[in-house]
Chains A and B, each alone.
Chain A
Amino acid sequence: MVFAVISANAGPITTNTALPVNEGEFIFRGQIKYIRATDDPGPLDRELTVWAAPSVLVYGLAEKLTLFGIAPYLDKSMEVTTPEGRRTRAVSGLGDIRVFGRYTFGQRDKPGETLRFASFVGLELPTGADDVEDSLGQLPQPLQLGSGSWDPFIGAVFTWQTLQWEFDSSVAYKFNTEANDFEFGDVASLDLSYQYRFWPNELGEAVPGYLYGVVESNLIWQDNNRAFGTPDLNSGGTTWYLTPGIQYVTKRYIFEGAVQLPVIQDLNGNGLKNDFIVTAGFRVNF
């Protein structure tokens, strides 16, 4: 199960951004994600439903340095065919927490426009339970709440924002490490986002609320998982999502929603394919 690193300050929905956070300011982002994966090419006929509620706290430490912390609440449930018939295996609780810092090393400001380059580095902490059992035994590692391992990740972001539209692109690489004799495959992602303000048409007084139409692209590649050092040939692969969305932005809060639709899923072996991912959320600054 892969979650692209998400940002919280004003900007794209499923992509990171290089937009600034005021020194000493907090931003809180709450999201609900619904993931449905039922396309199982193998004999187990797996049907996966995940509700995820990541909470993100952002803090502007200094003019160019921003800190992020993401704590996901997860509810995973998978229906699977066993020798005894269809069974549901489920688990819910806190997943692995991510913390990272983002540093802006390039900035060009013009009236009503900004271009920014930033890079980020972070760590995913093994806070989610990784050894949950049910009547059928220990849940397979991908279904667990956490990976049990300390996984660092790095990336870079580019943002170009004007009063009319915004473009963000982000590359990230996560080094998944071993725990419980299991190692998830590393993840590389390339995300692009384009937001276009279609209301109000003309900018008027002071600070209005903006309604944006959003279209994003998420390209994710994952390496094979390894159990006891041996690669699992039914894991990993490349997925490309096309993500339409909508976003309402005011001075203090943002409301948004998007659907990630897999356009290409080239998964290894019997990898379970995603049907779609629905995201809805809000952000508030204080």
Chain B
Amino acid sequence: MKKIPLLSLKAIVLVLLLLGTQARAEVSHVSIAVDGLGCPFCVYGIEKQLKNIDGVKKVDVELKTGQALVTLENGASPDISTFQNAVKKAGFTPRTVQITAVGKVQAKNDKMHLSLRGSDEKYVLFVKDSASADLPPEFKGQLLKLAESQSLVAITGTPHSHAQGQSGLSVERFSPLASVELSVDGMVCERCVARLTQILEKRKEVYQASVSLADKRTVIEAVDATLNTEELIETINEAEFSASVDSDETKQ
């Protein structure tokens, strides 16, 4: 595991305090397996239908695997059936739908839950195809650690709903997130915001970048182990903005 420099530790501390201020995406990605897709010309229809759904930021279809990966805007809460209907309208058959939800792990009543940030929604976590409904011990240990540290985690899996609105999420993979907040100077309009967001999100380790023109800052979320504040600052500077770690020393 890479040693996180002191600089970004301070940034993380700052962010934990500021976390409540922005509405964030609860579900960041939806991935749909599409059956019946055999040539490039047909892909366009699926992309068009999915892009029309409220809250969809980007659609990427991989023809080889038949997977349509939908990236959602901040704050979007999708209804799975909307995506399935979109694929049907395009003339194809939707199969498994997976979501990537960001939240914190909670242990309750001997079950592990993922509590989505910004909402009351909770998912009961489990691993499908396992011999029993109990979580495999190593996996449970990792989740308990995350619950203890209250770190943000992104979990990708197949959701299903229970009665009374409760939901379950079978876990395919998960990765803890770390946040870094940087002040950014030099943005003059929304186009700068869009450009900077695109440049930051192009980086492999960046999960999501929220850029605010009014607050002159950006909050970047990334997979914990690969987060490197200096490289992020350099990327922003290369884009002809000027970035620095927020120098406000807030009290704990």
**Direct touching of A and B (C-beta under 8 Å):** yes
Chain A residues touching B, majority SS: loop
Alpha-carbon gap, A252 to B88, bound state (A):
20
> What are the residues of chain B within 8 A of A204 when measuring CB–CB?
64
B62 neighbours in A (Cβ, 8 Å): 205-207
Kindly list chain B residues whose C-beta atoms are within 8 Å of the C-beta of A285.
41, 44-45
CB distance from B225 to the nearest CB of A (A): 25
Is A42 in the interface zone, CB < 8 Å from B?
A: no
- Chain A neighbourhood of B65, CB < 8 A: 111
Task: Report the interface size class on chain B.
Answer: 20 to 34
CB distance from B52 to the nearest CB of A (A): 9
CB-CB under 8 A for A20 and B91, given A9-B41, A111-B33, A249-B40: yes
Which residues on A sit within 8 Å (CB–CB) of B212? none
**Contact, CB under 8 Å: A19 / B33:** no
Q: Does B12 contact A (CB under 8 A)?
A: no
Instruction: Flag A154-178 by CB within 8 Å of B: 1 or 0 each.
Output: 0000000111001000000000000
Q: State the interface size on chain A (CB cutoff 8 A).
A: 39
Partner of A22, one of B33, B35, B49, B66: B49
Q: CB < 8 Å: which of A24, A60, A113, A250 contacts B41?
A: A250
Asked if A207 contacts B43 (CB within 8 A), the reply is: yes
Do the beta carbons of B61 and A207 come within 8 Å of each other?
A: yes
Cβ of A48 within 8 Å of any chain B Cβ, yes or no, is: no
A253 CA / B198 CA spacing, docked (Å): 27
Q: B39, A22: Cβ atoms under 8 Å?
A: no
**By the criterion CB–CB under 8 Å, are A206 and B63 in contact?**
yes
A283 neighbours in B (Cβ, 8 Å): 41
Interface assignment of B165: CB less than 8 Å from any CB of chain A: no
A109 touching B35, Cβ below 8 Å? yes
Find out whether the CB atom of A112 lies under 8 angstroms from the CB atom of B37.
Answer: yes
| Residues 9-58 of B at the A interface (beta carbon under 8 Å) | 33, 35-49
* B contact residues around A64 at 8 Å (CB): 91
A195: min CB distance to chain B, Å: 9
A173 to B31, CA, bound (A): 44
B93 within 8 A of A: yes
B-to-A contact residues, CB < 8 Å: 33, 35-49, 60-66, 88-93, 95
> Which residues of A pack against B, CB within 8 Å?
9-10, 19-25, 60, 63-64, 104, 107, 109-114, 161-163, 166, 203-210, 249-252, 254, 283, 285
The 25 listed contacts between A and B (C-beta, < 8 Å) are A20-B91, A20-B92, A21-B91, A22-B46, A22-B91, A23-B89, A25-B45, A63-B90, A104-B91, A109-B36, A111-B35, A111-B66, A112-B64, A113-B35, A113-B38, A114-B35, A161-B39, A163-B63, A206-B61, A207-B62, A207-B63, A249-B39, A249-B41, A251-B41, A251-B44
